[in-house]
Structures are given as structure tokens and as C-alpha cells.
Structure 1
Amino acid sequence: MSLSAVHGTLSSLRSCQNDIKTTMDIVTDVAMDLAETHDDVEGNDRFKELQDTILECAKLDRDINHFVDIVQQVTSDVTSQEPENMFSLSEDVKRQFEIKLSQLSDAELHNHQKVIAFKYSIKNCQDQAGQEPAERLEELDEDIAVTQSQVNFTCPLTTVEMVNPVKNKKCNHHYDEEAIVNLIRNRYSQRKKCRCPVVGCANSDVKESDLVLDQVLRRRIQSQKRNSKM
């Protein structure tokens, strides 16, 4: 075993995580379609299967994160140790990973960002489905206006159309996920708070925990893209 092989494996695992998150987005889209066409979506067996699937994905994503952290921790001192210590590397990782798994609770899976987005999206669809016809028409007019202006589709940081829009639960503003997370982490590294980048917003302390993926807006952006190509 070599460290280069270890690093290559970790890189492959990170790629798998991207596939897992894409799968979670697809599951959320299917669940939203179900919520839009069924009154009692939570009592639907298909919805329960989708919910179980997204929780399983969250568990896999979480476990990969812990595994990668443990491997990086175990290998961090290998270069300064005797070569024979490489032979015990696999056993050390396995032992520490088993200990970590025994300390985890499935209850924490509900705090996974994409699980929160899943629940938020379903609730949003149910709320819209429960509106009176007049309210739905009014909202449709608003959606058309938004689509035409594309104001809500543009990230205030990148000034381009968002790919993965997230909503700030405190001030209700939207940003592209990668852009706002990078800004928050950059400010944190400088020991500073992150102010909401929307002009005039009084929110002076944006945290990653304040952000929730807005799958509804993401679908609207994708729909607008498809329509523009027709």
C-alpha cells in the first residue's frame, strides 16, 4: 500500500459523494411531483420509500465523510514514521471507523442539508397545493413576472444564474450554494462574520446552518432553461 493509492481512493470516494447528492436531488424532485398530485402525500407508500431512500443516501454521505476524515488523520503522521507502520494502516482505519460508527445516531441524518431541503420542498408543494384557486393564479402571475425578469434566478454574489440555490432562513434571500458557502468560510478564516450580500439587508451574520437548499427554485430555473431552448 502507498499513500498515493490511498489519496486516489479518497478522491474516488469524493466523486461518489457527488453522485449521491445528485441522486438525492432526483429523489426530491420525484417526491415533489408526488406532493403536487396527491393530497395525503405523507400517507403514500411511494413517498415513504422516497423518504427512506433519501435518508439512506444521507447515511452513506455522512459515513463517507467520517471515513475520509479518519483516513486523513491516520495517514497524516505516516511519512514521519517507520515504513513498517504502513502495514498496520488498514487495521487502524478499520478500528477507528468502527468506533466512530458505533457513536453515531440515525436521528442526526435529519439534519443533513439535503434531507432538510427534501422536507422543506415537500412542505412548500403541499402549501401551494392547499391554496385557493385565486391564490394559485396570483402566485402564477408572480412566477411569470419573476421568470421574465430572472431577478430571483440570479445570485447576488456571482451575478449569474444560480445552479444550486439556497435560501437563508433568517432573511429569506437566495444565493448560489457554492458562492455563499465559500464566502462564509472565507470570512470565518479571517475571524469575521459574513454579511448577507443582498444590498440593504440587515442580516450581518450569515451562517451555513441558516442555509437550506431551495429545490422549488432550482426546478423553476431548470424549467426556464428548458423553455428558453424551445
Structure 2
Amino acid sequence: MPIRVLSPASPEAGPSRRRLPPSASVQLGQGDNDIDDDDDDIVEEEEGWTKETFVNRSLSKNDPAIIPQLRQVVDKLKEAIGRIEEGLDVAKETAMALEDSKQDEPSITEVENTFFRALNQRELLKIKIEVLEEMSTRLRGNEEFGNIEKSFAELADPREKAYMAKSQRAKYKNSKEYVDFRQALWEINHETACPPVSQWLEKGDDDVSDDDDFDMGGQTQNYRCPITLMLYKEATTSTKCGHNYSKAAIEDLIESTRKAKRQSKCPVTGCSVPLSKADLKPNPSLQKRADDFERRQQRREDEREDGDDTIAIEEDDDYE
């Protein structure tokens, strides 16, 4: 990613006006009779930045626009990460729909590969952000960069190459998003806990033994509010601890403790993080999964009841 920081205080920054001699007027579509020898009539051409005309210069914290412009780049990269994470949610929902239509639907592999690419892009953007923030810190410490684009590449390229050289298992084994992806698919057609996600990931030659490394998975998703013990209604998540609740239940709990002049805390066992209504945010994705879970549970129950009826009829026939 090319990094170009322009300072309005420098002679190189911003568009400039280049004075052209009369001989250049023909190239601009001007007739010979339109040009006088007087300097006042010399044609001026608006000239802005191009890749060819850009000149790198030494940068330091004494350039007032440098650090703010680096911050602007960081903010843009964070916006891009937000869009990527929205795409991860879409990919997961697509894979879940395919799994619901047919267990182990082959096209899920294509969706999973798209999911992997999105995770890669997000990680590469995080590396760029890390490098830009590091460069900002070094500028504040009076370090200068003679060529900021080259300096950025020297810092970012090795980190990006090191990440991309990792195996699937090393990249995604402990990724919360990928674990959630696999668990969401598993629970559609299974009632047991999801196996460790490593079973779906290729292992590289340099990966440590599974026996010696932490492996995420083996969990059963709980869609019940810790307060009501019922399935979520308007699922709401704490921005402080990440725990989930039904909206009305957690808001009532916070309000009741406030009236009692006590501090509200997360009701999940083992968590005592202070909570206020400002710490809560809606979680429509979780609510949708809870609704889908309820629908699947009802479908399985209906199938079991249908099976019992069939057995009862067969028994009656045998008796007769």
C-alpha cells in the first residue's frame, strides 16, 4: 500500500501553477496571435500531483500535517476492517443456510474459502495499522523518515509475508470468528458439542503438536438468557465482558439495582464486571441464531413425535 504524506507547508505539497513560455501555447490549443511578448500574457497551467511528479522528502514531527495524516490513513483502514467483518457475518449466514438445506453441502467449502480470504485481508490491514501507529510513535520520538513509503514497506512487508506463510491451522485455529463459523454450522444438524476446529484445518510442517497446543472447539452454544434461563428475546450483549442477555431482563436488573442504590454487575456466574445500560448493545445476529435454534429444536421434536406415531401404528397392526 503506497503511503504518501503531503504537507501544505512544503514546496512539494498541493497543486501548483507552472508558467509556460509562449512556444508551448500551440500544445494548449492557443493560436500564435493570442500570445504577446509581454510576461503578463504568459499562459499558466494547473498542475497537480501525479505518481511521476511526486517527490519524497524527509519527514519528522516538525511537519504539522504528518501525524494527523497518518491517523487519517489508520481510520480509513479501520473502516475497511469494519466492512470485512460485515462480510464475515454474511459468509457465515450463507454457509448456515446451505447446511440447513443439506448436511455437509459441498458448496460450503467455497464459502469457507471466502471466509478465510476475508480473515487474511483483515489481518493484513491490522498489520498496516500496527506499522502506521509504530511510525507515528517514532515520529513523536524525534525520528525522521527519509522516504516514508520505503520505510513503511520495510516494516510491513516482512510481517505480512510471515503471516501469509503460516498454515491454515496456525492462522485460524484460535480465531474466534472461525470457531463461531464452525460451531454455527455444526449445531444445525448435530446435538452434540462441536469438535475442535483443527479437524477442518490443514496442518503445516512447522505446527506444534495438537497435544501441546490449545485448541478451540468442543462447546455447545447456549442461547438461554442467564437471568430468565429462557431463549433470548431481543438478544443484547455487554460491550465490557461480551456476555449476552435478553434485553428486558438485563435492563430490569440494572434498573432494580440502581433503585436499591447498588452497583449493577454482570449476572453471569464468575463475572462481576460493572454494567450500565450504556454498556449494552443489540445483537441481532445472536437473536437470529437463537430463533433458528428454536426452530430446529421444534422441528426435531416434531420428527420425534411423528416417529412415535409410526411405531404405535405398527404395534397396533401386529397386535391385530
TM range (shorter): 0.5 to 0.7
Q: Which structure has the greater CA radius of gyration?
A: 2
- Aligned twin of 1:217: 286
- Aligned twin of 1:123: 186
Residue identity opposite 1:115 in structure 2: Y
The answer to whether structure 1 residue 21 and structure 2 residue 85 are counterparts is yes
Q: Is the 8 A contact 1:121 1:216 kept in 2?
A: no
Q: Is the 8 A contact 1:59 1:106 kept in 2?
A: no
The answer to whether structure 1 residue 32 and structure 2 residue 92 are counterparts is no
- How many Å apart are 1:91 and its aligned residue? 1.3
Kindly report the root-mean-square deviation, in angstroms, between the aligned alpha carbons of the 2 structures. 3.4
- Aligned twin of 1:226: none
Q: What are the Cα deviations for residues 122-145 of structure 1, in whole angstroms up to 9, with x where unaligned?
A: 1111215xxxxxxxxxxxxxx9x9
Unaligned runs of 5+ in 1: 129-142, 155-159, 163-175, 183-195, 207-213, 224-230
Residue identity opposite 1:81 in structure 2: N
The answer to whether structure 1 residue 6 and structure 2 residue 67 are counterparts is no
The answer to whether structure 1 residue 100 and structure 2 residue 154 are counterparts is no
Distance in 1 separating the partners of 2:238 and 2:114 = 23
What is the identity percentage for the equivalent residue pairs of Structure 1 and Structure 2?
Answer: 10
The answer to whether structure 1 residue 50 and structure 2 residue 111 are counterparts is yes
TM-score (norm 1): 0.59
The answer to whether structure 1 residue 72 and structure 2 residue 97 are counterparts is no
- Aligned twin of 2:18: none
1:18/1:126 CA distance change after superposition, 3 Å: same
Distance in 1 separating the partners of 2:235 and 2:103 = 33
Q: What are the Cα deviations for residues 185-230 of structure 1, in whole angstroms up to 9, with x where unaligned?
A: xxxxxxxxxxx9325x2x3699xxxxxxx9973424688xxxxxxx
Distance in 1 separating the partners of 2:284 and 2:135 = 37
- Larger relative helix fraction: 1
- Aligned twin of 1:90: 149
Higher RCO, 1 or 2 (CA under 8 Å, sep at least 6)? Answer: 1
State the aligned residue count. Answer: 161
